[in-house]
Amino acid sequence: MPAPSASIHLGVPTPYITSHGSKVARLHMYDWFVLVLLVVIDGVLNIIEPFHRFVGSDMMTDLRYPMKDNTVPFWAVPIIGIIGPVIIITGIYFERRNVYDFHHAILGLLFSVLITAVLTDAIKDGVGRPRPDFFWRCFPDGVPAYDNVTTGVLCHGKASVIKEGHKSFPSGHTSWSFAGLGFLSWYLAGKIKVFDRRGHVAKLCIIILPLLLAALVAVSRVDDYWHHWQDVFTGGILGRLMLQGHLRRSYLITSKRGSDKRAGWWFLHFATFNSFQCHLMKTAYGLTHTLGTFLTLISYRAMLNPQPWIA
Nearest residue to 101 via CA among 116, 91, 112: 91
Instruction: Give buried/exposed letters for 200-226 (b at 16+ CB in 10 A, else e).
Output: eeebbebbbebbebbbebbbbbbebbb
Q: How far apart are CA 295 and CA 207, in angstroms?
A: 20
Nearest residue to 154 via CA among 142, 139, 165: 139
Amino acid of residue 273: F
Q: Identify the three-state secondary structure at position 146.
A: strand
Cα end-to-end span (Å), the chain: 21
Nearest residue to 273 via CA among 196, 191, 167, 181: 181
Q: How far apart are CA 114 and CA 197, in angstroms?
A: 34
Q: How far apart are CA 134 and CA 112, in angstroms?
A: 31
Q: Give the active site residues.
A: 173, 227
Annotate 24-71 with DSSP letters as a single string.
HHHHTHHHHHHHHHHHHHHHHHHHSPPP----BGGGGGGG-PPP---S
- In sequence order, the 6+-apart residues with CB closer than 8 A to the CB of 179 are 81, 112, 113, 115, 116, 117, 239, 240, 242, 243
Helix and strand numbers (H, E) in the chain are: 12, 0
Instruction: Give buried/exposed letters for 42-60 (b at 16+ CB in 10 A, else e).
Output: beebeeeebeeeebeeebb
